[in-house]
Structure 1
């Protein structure tokens, strides 16, 4: 009888193991679900992205087709050949104009999370879900991005979109210019050294309401400056010298161009909180070709004049661009950094020395007294190994439980 029971038990275990193995094998041999109408587009995009250009060029879906039906490599300057592997040895180093391709590797490492696929009928209408040709979700995520980075205050302010900051510069100059025909035209000025585009664009679009007024040094000590309408363009950090700048003419309306006020170009000193602030996607994500920028505006009247200019000029930015920029910003927000240290305050009345209280709980921290702060504070380093962090959480649990019990 015992032999029979053992045989039945063995047979049962064998059958369970066999069926489990079959289920495991079936699961791993299953083909991924079909992508439907996105399948061919995804396949084409991955095939082009896989074209080898020797690290000195890239192929694009809309590139010139080679004999095999695939796009050819578009080579960096000084490189040539079918795969961009050949170097022109007498080629000069061209560092005249900027092109944010240094961020290309960042997005290649995030190929899946940054990819965008949209239908052939995606947002065909002139209108958007927000007013003034604004995508509601994109505006919301731009505000979140500024909050995460800490480089600008957007609460209680208006946001407008433009085809890069280039379009927005003139839109803002127009909005800040006198609207009364009897008023003298505004003089658009900047401090040396300044971005030459400011002068070129202002001269091109000069109207009875505004014109290029030269450099701020020409007006700083002039008596006429008190009776002249100025629009001062301030780039901070500045292009080309990277210095932090402030307005020179106290009576001027100011456009703060914060194109480079992002952590990969500059230290973030404080959140900028100016009346008119200008930003461009090309500098934060590197996607200069998407032609997208935005302005943060405090005054409602200036906002309405800017929005009216953009409406008459282009009826907003490409809706396809809205979607792409939204995807990019979501990736950047998701990868936001954390603080290197936690500044902890012990609220227990009986514990005046937080460092010592944590030490009793097997947590080694750095006393706040070393920073000339109150001893109820202590610093916890978060830039350790994952094992260290996991152990910290484990050691903190009894202390948190003790506090919960004490407060209940």
Structure 2
């Protein structure tokens, strides 16, 4: 019961009324919102004075906020849930992640579906609704460099590596400073290199790209001279782009695809070794560790007209010992081989020369307006998690996995007189602060028999899919075997190698 009063001619008239349901609801809503605001202010004041000035909200507090609803929606009607808008998405993601697929596949939110529900995407040689059916005569596919060996690490760190993104996150073309680069991500990347000790980034500009591939092309353009002002300028000659065999075939493809007047692919560096001091301008690709043989490389060409692009995609402690920080004028890295997230298509480059940086930046802006904002957000969250424990967790897991794979493959092939592997020596690693054994991303295998001039065909007959040596501009007596795919792929590769080597011990029935 409520009382109301009205003053008329200096007389107070009292009346009694019953509150309506709407009036009670409105009053309760106002009180609830006021309570939330007061609680929020009090909470932040408490956190500022008790946690060194950093306002942190716990999971329980998020759940508390998420349980509060307001009927006064800003979009013109309907119910607004202050925090729990992410709950449905999280529940959907976790439900899909919980699908086991017999341990031989994965289900994805945007993957295959059956009757409206996520279905398993099976690993190579596995099938069936839950990926439990193995195909016995299936070939081991060791061709691609798909870095799925790190998948178990991220599954074991599901909570700390998850990314929740609102539907309105970074909808614009640029960041608030007008650039295409997240400044917070830049800080994390520079910090990561300082922690790992694999690159000196001070005094260098940073660029983000759609994977290392886009940055490699930007680097060629950045190091090439400006185009001639006139077609009549016959004194102009394109820059010669070279790499030392065996080399990553994308270098040639990137150079050729543009058919540019400014640069031209000129093949193996050794052809030009004695000419670079006096003949034309050169851009030399140096991949260290090298793809495919995983050797640490140095430039071959010297002279005032030689510029170098260092591709350090594999210069991380799980693939090689880090003897010292790289400190070159132009260095390229990628998240693909660092964290295994090749599908995010994110890479970065450090350029010392401002003019080179500006030309690269201009190309990246015109080509794609920089790296995706969503990719940068994912990179930020993942790399932030990596550096929290000074990168020990990721690299210890990665090194252990790759080291064990290399040792097992070496052991199997040590029994063979028909096949050999590249020689890699233990080195002192400044990151692990100890001598570490080889843990390469790839096996560079050679067929030693004179008649085995096509090593790819030899392995294919043994149900092993490799990558031909000619793809890397060397003879086909060599092949590359990828060691960085998922565990099923490696296990089958090792099984097929053991089968092949065991045949050497059996007599050839044709000669009996």
Structure-2-length-normalised TM-score:
0.59
- 2:301 matched to which residue of 1? 249
Per the alignment, residue 44 of structure 2 pairs with: none
Return the match for 1:151 from 175, 188, 198: 198
Contact kept? 2:170, 2:373, Cα under 8 Å: yes
Q: Following TM superposition, by how much is the alpha carbon of 1:337 offset from its aligned partner in structure 2, in angstroms?
A: 5.4
Alignment match of 2:90 (pick from 42, 46, 67): 42
Alignment partner of 1:163 is 2:210: yes
Equivalent of 1:258, from 296, 301, 312? 312
**Contact 1:129–1:136 (CA under 8 A) maintained in structure 2:** no
What's the counterpart of residue 227 of structure 1? 279
Contact 1:206 1:212 in 2 (8 A): no
Find 1:314's aligned residue among 351, 365, 368: 368
Q: 1:236 is matched with which residue: 270, 288, 291?
A: 288
Q: How does 1:268-287 map to 2 (within 5 A)?
A: 268-287=322-341
CA positional deviation for 1:31:
12
Unaligned runs of 5+ in 2: 1-59, 67-82, 393-432, 434-512
- 1:200 alignment partner in structure 2: 253
Give the structure with the higher percent strand: 2
**Per-residue deviation, 1:225:** 5.6
Shift in CA distance, 131/276, structure 1 to aligned 2, threshold 3 Å: farther
Describe how 1:5-404 pairs up with structure 2 within 5 A.
Answer: 33=64, 34=66, 35-67=83-115, 69-130=116-177, 132-181=179-228, 182=233, 183-222=236-275, 226-251=278-303, 252-336=306-390
C-alpha displacement of 1:132: 3.7
- Where 1:226 maps in the other structure, the secondary structure is coil
Q: Secondary structure at the match of 1:124?
A: coil
Provide the rounded CA distance (Å) in 1 between the counterparts of 2:136 and 2:154.
30
Residues 141-188 of structure 1 deviation map (CA, whole Å, 9 limit, x = unaligned): 110010010000111110000000011111110110111415311111
Q: How far apart in 1 are the matches of 2:62 and 2:183?
A: 38
Q: Structure 2 vs 1, CA of residues 320 and 30 (structure 1 numbering), >3 Å: closer, same or farther?
A: closer
> How large is the Cα RMSD of the aligned pairs?
1.9
Give SS of 1:217's match.
helix
| Cα deviation 1:67-125 (Å, max 9, x = unaligned) | 2x321111111111111111111111111111100000010011000000011000000
Q: What is the SS of the residue equivalent to 2:283?
A: strand
- Change in Cα spacing, 1:325 to 1:313, as seen in structure 2 (3 Å) is same
Task: Assess if the C-alpha contact under 8 Å between 1:58 and 1:75 holds in 2.
Answer: yes
Q: Is residue 277–residue 302 contact of structure 2 (8 Å, CA) maintained in 1?
A: no
Q: Secondary structure of the equivalent of 1:227? A: coil
Aligned residues of 1:175 and 1:305 also touching (Cα < 8 A):
yes
Question: Are the aligned partners of 1:232 and 1:253 in contact in 2 as well (CA < 8 Å)?
Answer: yes
SS at structure 2 position matched to 1:54: helix
8 A Cα contact 2:333 2:347, kept in partner: yes
Whole-Å Cα distance in 1 between the matches of residues 277 and 107 of structure 2?
A: 53
In 1, the alpha carbon distance for the partners of 2:140 and 2:278 equals 46
Q: Is the CA contact (8 Å cut-off) linking 1:73 and 1:83 kept in structure 2?
A: yes
- Number of aligned pairs? 309
Q: Distance in 2 between matches of 1:131 and 1:303?
A: 17
Question: What residue in structure 2 maps to residue 374 of structure 1?
Answer: none
| Secondary structure in structure 2 of the residue aligned to 1:295 | strand
Q: Under a length normalisation based on structure 1, what TM-score does the superposition of the two structures give?
A: 0.73
- Which structure 1 segments of 5+ residues have no match? 1-28, 339-380, 382-408
TM-aligned CA deviation for residue 198 of structure 1: 0.9
Using a 3 Å threshold, how does the CA distance of structure 1 residues 147 and 129 change in structure 2: closer, same or farther? farther
Q: Is the 8 A contact 1:157 1:296 kept in 2?
A: yes
Aligned-partner SS, 2:298: coil
Distance in 2, Cα, partners of 1:292 & 1:154 = 18
Q: What whole-Å deviation, never above 9, does each CA across 1:182-203 have from its counterpart, x for those lacking one?
A: 5311111000110111112211
CA shift for structure 1 position 206: 2.5
More RCO (CA 8 Å, sep 6+)? 2
